[in-house]
Amino acid sequence: MASTEILPATASERTKGSHEQGFHGADEKHKSALECLVMVATHHAITLTVAEIVRDNGLPDPVVDYDALVHCARHAGLKAKLVHLDWAGLTQIKKAVPAIIRLKTGASLVLARVIVDGGPLGVVLHDPNAAEGAELFVDWLRFQEIWTGEVLLVRRNYDLKDEEQPFSISLIASLIFRERKLARDIAICALLLSLLALAPIIYWTLIGQKVIAYHAMNTFTVLTVGMLVLIVFETIFSFLRSYLLQFLTSRVDVRLSEYMFDRLLALPIDFYERTEIGVVMHDVQELWKIRNFLSGQLFGTVLDSMTLLFFLPVMFAFSPLLTFIVLAFCGLIVLWLLAMLPALRAATGKVIIAETARGSFLYQTLAGMRTVKSLALESRQRREWDVLVARAAKAVDNQARVASIVQTGVRPLERLAVTGSYAVGVYMALSTNDPLYISALFAFLMLSQRVAGPLMQIAQLINQGDEARAAVDVVKQLLNQPREEGIGDGGVRKPLAGHVEFSKVLFTYKGALMPAIDGVSFEIPVGMTLGVVGRSGSGKTTLTRLLQRLHSEYEGLIKIDGVDVREYNIAHLRRNLGVVLQENFLFRGTIRENIMAAKPNATFDEVVRAARLSGAEEFIDRLPRGYDTYIYEGSPNLSGGQRQRLAIARCMILDPKILIFDEATSALDPDSENIVNENIRKIAKGRTVIVISHRLSSLVNSDAILVLERGKFLDMAPHQTLIERCEIYRSLWLQQNGHIEAAATSRASGRGTTLV
């Protein structure tokens, strides 16, 4: 049962008690806010730590204001709202606890409940620095003295996050209309502009009927001044509409970019291994076509079409017959576009295929430029590029031809919608010989011209909408791929010690006939260094990929510290596994930025420590700019050994308990290999280390060596034991080191001979 401490009520006791009962001092201002958020999140079954919040939100340190605290809460899957209350308001929050309250010292506490009935008035608080379960009672008078009135209400967010929703055109529409206030203001501006668009027509009608007919100069002056005023208003509202529409588009771009990037990050690694990056880049660009259609063409057409609300009734008032003629020609345009839609759709599809192939080849060439140069493949690449460009140009020409045919059919109908109705009007005016009808005819001409534009836009939406539909299909195929299993906020987050266990693990890659790992079982105690050897294709790297949970579709169990790796929070698991590969990717930026990539809030001392552990400090200190040395894309200004040491430093910044070195030294020269191996031996103390290497000499000092053969467990023992009892290991050893042993045997036998 939780204990409850009571804060004294007298002034002197309260002053003393504020230091003795667990309240934070001013030197810890705001630091307790994140600790309180962790406590509230735990109440809502979300496991967090302050370090994870700092890392996931890119915070420089744990000291945050309440605006940042709201952002952190929402990022963690909670809904948070900062409110200002008095005591009367606080007594009404009822089930909205636990909440976070802020004290005048700057510290934060968790509000557990407000006591109004059944005891003395006051609040029960939880202090994150107190013992777990300890409660602190504060009477209402004292609480009002120390409380700022700020309350952060927090509850679990059960709504689907944007990145969890499947991609569709309705998702983008929801992102647009999420900005309701902006959309409302834009609609108001468009409505007023539509109303003001009647002004020139009314002006010219009155000029013809009242001014010219009666030579009314005073009326002319009043109409002209009024028209100038309306032009000023029209200019202002036109600017506001353009500005607000651009602002809305920018906000949608931000949300859409975040959604797209989150979805790409959530895709599994095997998707990227079987999909060309150039294709992915092209498909991503199709996203902006959809955005342009919704926020530009569709939204713009809807806004422009508001003129129809005012113009069509006026046109019907002038002449229902002429209005029906205009609408009839617009209907013919719609039918023509629908008839040509299949041909245009087929042409657009061919353009997408051709441009995708061209973009993919361009990316492949740029990414492999070093190989292209070293093998003098420029002419070969140029020939293939020319072929792809020709195919794309041919597809675009075909699309342009179809589009021209479509436009050719639309243009005469568009002209007839205005001139045809006007011709009929002229005929009727001549037949009636009514001067007022003739002046009204000019007004109708201006109305029909203003109405024809929005009607044409509505008709053309058929083609534009079909292009957007094709783009939606392309982007859906990319972003709606199955997400990586385990992505999210759930899962075990306990600290890892490093005990690894494989039990009857069976795994087969998609499309493969034979399993890559076939019933493998072994155990790695905490602090052990395990070497892994085997012929190519024996499943060495696959073992480490399964341990990192890059693949989850396997049979059997893989445990770390007795917990199935599929139960861990995936981000937490990977942050506790330090992985160094044969080819390590370094980001463009400084050496310091690369080392602290996994821990953005790392101090410079932590960066130096990681560099020292990896052996990178030795060459960094010799560089003119040291840790501020800029690494270019592809890291051409660093040697292979330097890149490997920086990769080791980057994984050591998080101080992982399990280290994986996958052929980390196979591409290095002997001197660099010796340096890296020596550093590995230093940092292996107290950690579980898995080393994969084809060079068996680098594994001799391992505590044990695991031998795999065609995905199956063959043997596991120290080097000398394997030499004696494992035929495959002995064969691999002799292939690499037989000449050394032969030379040593020869020297030994030579020492036993005597020259005569």
DSSP line for 456-515: HHHHHHHHHHHHHHHHHHHHHHHHTSPPPTT-SS-SB-PPP---EEEEEEEE--TT-SS-
Give the burial string for 503-540 (b: 16+ CB within 10 Å, else e): eebebbbeeeeebbbbebebebeebbbbbbbbeeebbb
| Per-residue pLDDT tens over the stretch 704-744 | 999 998 889 999 999 889 888 888 888 888 887 765 555 55
- The one-letter amino acid code at 226 reads G
Residue entry with tokens 């509202």: 237
The two three-digit tokens of residue 52, written as one number: 């994870």
Mean pLDDT throughout 279-302? Answer: 77
Residue entry with tokens 């004696």: 724
Average pLDDT of the chain?
Answer: 80
Q: Are 304 and 238 in contact (CB under 8 A)?
A: no
Is a pLDDT exceeding 90 seen at residue 507? yes
pLDDT computed for residue 752 by the predictor: 47
Is a pLDDT exceeding 50 seen at residue 18? no
Q: Of the segments 288-302, 450-464, 500-514, which one has the largest average pLDDT value?
A: 500-514
Domain 500-741 fold is Rossmann fold (3.40.50)
> Residue 214: in which H helix or E strand, if any?
helix 213-214
Environment class of 95 (CB within 10 Å of its CB; exposed 0-12, middle 13-18, buried 19+) = exposed
Collapsing DSSP states into helix, strand and coil, what is residue 22? coil
pLDDT computed for residue 680 by the predictor: 78
| Per-residue pLDDT tens over the stretch 421-475 | 778 877 777 777 665 566 666 667 776 767 777 767 776 677 777 777 888 888 8
The whole-angstrom separation of Cα 313 and Cα 306 is 12
Question: What is the maximal distance between C-alpha atoms in the chain?
Answer: 145
| Per-residue pLDDT tens over the stretch 564-579 | 998 888 888 888 888 8
Of 228-242, 263-277, 414-428, 731-745, minimum mean pLDDT range: 731-745
Distances (CA, A) of 280 to 118, 288, 362, 469, 630: 64, 14, 13, 18, 29
For the packed helices 435-479 and 307-318, what is the interaxial angle rounded to 10 degrees? 150
The two three-digit tokens of residue 590, written as one number: 């400084």
For the chain, what are the domain ranges?
Answer: 31-156, 169-480, 500-741
Q: Are 681 and 600 in contact (CB under 8 A)?
A: no
The whole-angstrom separation of Cα 14 and Cα 7 is 7
pLDDT computed for residue 559 by the predictor: 92
Please count the other Cβ atoms lying within 10 Å of the Cβ belonging to residue 472: 21
pLDDT computed for residue 480 by the predictor: 87
pLDDT computed for residue 488 by the predictor: 66
The whole-angstrom separation of Cα 595 and Cα 653 is 7
Distances (CA, A) of 267 to 171, 275, 480, 564, 645: 19, 12, 9, 22, 29
| Per-residue pLDDT tens over the stretch 398-411 | 888 888 888 788 78
CA nearest 136: which of 279, 268, 287, 20? 20
pLDDT computed for residue 225 by the predictor: 92
CA dihedral 704, 708, 712, 713 (to 10 degrees): -20
Is a pLDDT exceeding 50 seen at residue 25? no
CA nearest 570: which of 222, 153, 275, 266? 266
Q: Are 717 and 705 in contact (CB under 8 A)?
A: yes
Q: Please list the residues that pair with 5 across neighbouring strands.
A: 136
Domain 31-156 fold is Cathepsin B; Chain A (3.90.70)
- The one-letter amino acid code at 542 reads T
The two three-digit tokens of residue 120, written as one number: 């003395």
Note the CATH number of domain 169-480: 1.20.1560.10
Collapsing DSSP states into helix, strand and coil, what is residue 597? coil
The whole-angstrom separation of Cα 628 and Cα 607 is 12
Q: What is the Rg, in whole angstroms, of the alpha carbon atoms belonging to the chain? A: 37
The whole-angstrom separation of Cα 571 and Cα 484 is 12
Contacts of 687 (CB under 8 A, 6+ apart): 498, 527, 656, 657, 658, 659
Q: Are 695 and 677 in contact (CB under 8 A)?
A: no
| Per-residue pLDDT tens over the stretch 543-569 | 999 999 888 888 999 999 989 998 888
The reply to whether 169-480 shares the fold of 31-156 is no
Q: Is the peptide bond before 636 cis (omega within 30 degrees of 0)?
A: no
Is a pLDDT exceeding 90 seen at residue 501? yes
Between residues 355 and 446, which one has the greater pLDDT? Answer: 355
Give the burial string for 663-685 (b: 16+ CB within 10 Å, else e): bbbeebeeebbebbbebbeebbe
pLDDT computed for residue 344 by the predictor: 82
pLDDT computed for residue 94 by the predictor: 75
The whole-angstrom separation of Cα 291 and Cα 468 is 9
